[in-house]
Amino acid sequence: MLENRIAVVTGGARGIGEGIAVKFAEEGCRVVIADMAEPQRTQSQDGSSGKGKESLFIKCDVSDGAQVQQMVDRVLADYGKIDILVNNAGIPGGNPRSITEISESEWERVLGINLKGTFLCSKAVVPSMKTARYGRIINIASMAAISPPAPLIHYSSSKAGILGFTMDLALELAPFNITVNAILPGAIRTEIFDHMVPPGVDKDDFFREMGKTIAPMQRVGLPEEIAGAAVFLASPLSSYMTGDRLLVGGGAPLINRINTGSGS
């Protein structure tokens, strides 16, 4: 569904970003991975080249406007266009804690990567997309944007900000045939959650038990399940959809509706 398309996936070296990069390649897309960390064992790049498509890794700090512009300029020089941007790069913000325990520097770092990075990357690709009168911008938010599971105000605020950003940019770019949508993942099994596993406890067992309580589907999600939603938003199947959001969390929001009585 993405044949002859060029995509930039920020934070595409591992986790959800890697899942998206590999899935895009399977759908015929050339993928550029923009990340501070090199792909683990070149999995994302192997995933792309394994389907006969080129892939490119560019080291880039998405919170640095100069690095972002250099990354975009290189992609345009090498490929001539950017059809799809996936703003996936982000950091979790650590363990849940009170607002009084979060420093100003922590706030600035989390919002700098999660929200400012989304702004800088989108700003850099919009001119070429406008010229082409085509584009797909996909922002990876979080279920925490609408229903924080625990106090982590800098992370939840950054992801909620992405939702407002998505709607505003979608309104601006709609006349140019550029869609802007967001994906809200629930609990997805990536290395971000590995620190939660107690010493001596098997990871598979831990996440199996966690899934029973965190979502009605009684399991933790996988990166490829977010990737499926991203392919939909990047493909012609979603051509009349913009400023919207997809919740991919195994039905997690239903738990809050039931607990608050709003499901009656």
Residue 160, number of CB atoms within 10 A of its CB: 17
Return the H-helix or E-strand segment holding 163: helix 153-173
Selecting among 79, 134, 155, 240, the annotated active-site residue is 155
Contacts of residue 263, Cβ cutoff 8 Å, sequence gap at least 6: 254, 257
**What residues form DSSP beta bridges with 245?**
182
Alpha carbons 28 and 48: distance in angstroms, whole number:
9
Q: Please confirm, yes or no, whether 79 is among the known catalytic residues.
A: no
CB 234 within 8 A of CB 84: yes
CB 246 within 8 A of CB 229: yes
Distances (CA, A) of 22 to 33, 49, 261: 10, 9, 40
Catalytic residue annotation: 155
